[in-house]
Amino acid sequence: MNCRIRKTFMLLLIFVLLISITHNSVAASEKQVQKNVYLIILNRYSLTDVKQMPNLKKIIDDGSIGLMNTRGLYSYNGAEGFLTINTSSRAYANYSSSEFHNFSEENKEIYERRIGQFNGEHEVLNTNFSILIELNKDNTYAPNIGALGDNLHKSGLKTAIYGNADTLDNIIRPSCLIPMDSKGLIDYGNVDNILIVDKQSPYGFRTDYNKILEDIGRVKDKASLIVIDTGDLDRLSSYSNKLTEEMFMVHRGRILSSIDNFLGELVKSIDKNNSIIMISSPNSGEELIDNSKLSPTIVWGSDISKGILSSSTTRRDGVISNIDIAPTIVDFLNIPSEGFLGSPLVYKDYENNLSFIENTNNRINLVSNSRFYLLTIYGVLSIIALSFGAFILSFKISLSGKLYNILTITTLTIGIIPLCLILNSIINVTSYSKFIVFSIILVIIFIVSFYYQKRFNKFLIPMGLTYIVLLIDVLSGGNLIRYSVLGYDPTIGARYFGIGNELVGILLGSMAVFIGILTRKKWTKALSLLIMFLTILAVGHPRFGANVGGTIAVVFTALYFVLEMKDIEISFKKIIGIGFITGIFIIVLGFLDAKINPNPTHLGRAIIMASRDGASFINNVALRKILMNIKLVGSSIWTKVLYVNLLSQIAIILTIQDKIRELFNKNKYIFIGFSSGIVGSIIGFLVNDSGLILSSLSMLLITISFIWTVAEYISKYEN
């Protein structure tokens, strides 16, 4: 009997030990989280809101802040910005494809009926995940949907989501798109029962921040990524058409105060040594408050000092992209990343970080908002100047006195404006009126300076100065380009550094005219070769211009110029040879960028993606570029400018070809400069996604210089 008792006791003891071991292992697995990322979604907030949020201001004073590009596949609003964060690539979603719910047997049945087998324990699921996949089926960016959630799950880490932006009529839960995996699943969370009745709030309810804090306290030892959708600013935005302006501001102030109190409590509840808080708006700000398309993003926590945000995606202090958020999260959690195009954020110490960001935001908005109008005005003026010059020359109207002076001033103005649009970013201007006045003053100063010089060809100095200023700026980091209407616009998000197609067109056109007029003697030939080499370096090198299509156009221009300079007959076979050499040069440049550069440029990433995805990636890139050119051809002012360029040249050549032949026989290298620039413009049009703009601007400088050169020759001939 005692033996049986002892055996029974031993079995019970073993059972207790097993339970204890199991409990300890479960507890250990539940507490395996070493770091937490808290991503707070304040959708539609702006820099102006910071003044009403003292706790947020303290977070900024102790952390880093930047301006984030919010563009999804098509727009700056809606669900696509949220999905783009998850995929770290341009993606598309709508609210219907973002219908997430808490786990229930009914929702599980719906999910399995639509998507497939439900495996594992997940508290939140997307019952319309199949719609999301279908929406991105033909997306040429080929986003890896669910990439952020998958990267965490592959490393054994968990995700969580709390909150929604629901209204009375609609389920609005796009924040769930950020932490989900490639099956539309999230480990922990609550999106169905997270609101509280509040009759003073829009729709009569608001987010229950106390409940969210309680839920975070329960899950922070289990989930590495916790996304919180505050939701109330979104609800206010959709309710705004029912409010007076005064009541809108009253509601907004109350909502911002509630969110600020929540942030203060959240900061108190977490361990800063192993956590970071990221506060961001995946959409652009509230239009009734701020028309900026860039949203403020704040990062606070472990090893983050007071400063500003940047990344190798943008290479620009204070500016980041939404595709950088996911790489930053996995980088902080020290886990591998797959399928991301963005780069981890960089934190740069800066004492007056908020003031710097406010000034940067104002300058970017000024350039972005005036860009279309100023370039349209320049395009219209160019059409008038080209038509006027072509009319005078084609109808052989006598060039003397006032008419000659008018033509000179007109052509000089068109040639000088690009230089002025680059140089006007020297001063820190945030006022539209001051910006316009300063630009006009620059134009007048240069016209007077160049008009009255008589020693050189009147286009030698303006084209040379335009080229030199632009070249030096590109090689020195693009400080002038950054705030020029001819530069890249970070709100569009197509390019953040280097040299864009507009300025490649200006650089190519001014170079072609400059070396054509300059090249005469042996030493100027050597100088022209150096100029072309420096241009290729500036446009193509990953550290400087990083413009692939522009590099191809400039290399073609340079090789064509050299062949003509050496009196080598140009044939179709030689053009194919030039294309082959250019292709090899680009591939080698891209390979070196991908292998050597720790943060590859567009070209290096393209090489990496092409080696990974093969023909499908190449086809997508080619299709995207073709579609962009088709879009521009149908809608851009530069289509009309390019047509007028071509028609002007044709009209002049057909009507006074004898005079032109005489001119170019006496000035061989001017002809070579013009013709090589035209060849480069054609190639630039063919190989760039916005090649129309490159080609049109390059041809504009060539044609306007051509018109004045011919007019000057005829004027001297007549006199």
pLDDT the model gives residue 89:
92
CATH H-level superfamily of 31-351 = Alkaline Phosphatase, subunit A (3.40.720.10)
pLDDT the model gives residue 578:
77
Distance, CA of 68 to CA of 345 (rounded, Å): 11
DSSP 392-444: HHHTT----HHHHHHHHHHHHHHHHHHHHHHHTTSS----HHHHHHHHHHHHH
CB 353 within 8 A of CB 102: no
DSSP 249-279: HHHHHHHHHHHHHHHHHHHHHS-GGGEEEEE
pLDDT tens digits along 225-254:
999 999 999 999 999 999 999 999 999 999
Give residues with Cβ within 8 angstroms of 489, minimum separation 6: 364, 367, 368, 371
Distance, CA of 529 to CA of 631 (rounded, Å): 36
pLDDT the model gives residue 593:
62
pLDDT the model gives residue 568:
85
Q: Which helix (H) or strand (E) holds 352?
A: none
Among 319, 694, 317, smallest CA distance to 489 is for 319
Strand bridging mode 100-102 / 36-41: unpaired
First to last CA, the chain: 135
pLDDT the model gives residue 236:
97
pLDDT the model gives residue 306:
95
CB 418 within 8 A of CB 705: no
pLDDT the model gives residue 359:
94
pLDDT tens digits along 616-672:
555 555 555 555 555 555 567 888 999 999 999 999 999 999 999 999 999 999 999
Give the distance from CA 650 to its chain's centroid.
38
The CA R_g of the chain, rounded to the nearest whole Å, is 31
Distance, CA of 329 to CA of 437 (rounded, Å): 45
Q: What is the DSSP letter of 285?
A: P
Alpha-carbon torsion, ordered 167, 171, 175, 179, to 10 deg: 150
Residue 94: both structure tokens together: 């709508």
pLDDT the model gives residue 7:
45
pTM score: 0.86
Mean pLDDT by 10 residues, the chain (719 residues): 46 42 42 83 95 96 97 94 95 96 95 91 96 91 93 96 96 98 97 95 96 96 97 96 95 97 96 96 91 93 94 94 97 92 93 95 92 93 96 88 90 95 88 86 91 80 95 93 92 87 95 93 89 93 85 92 88 78 73 62 58 56 55 73 94 92 91 94 85 92 95 79
Q: Where in the chain is the domain with CATH 3.40.720.10?
A: 31-351
pLDDT the model gives residue 14:
44
pLDDT the model gives residue 540:
87
pLDDT the model gives residue 704:
96
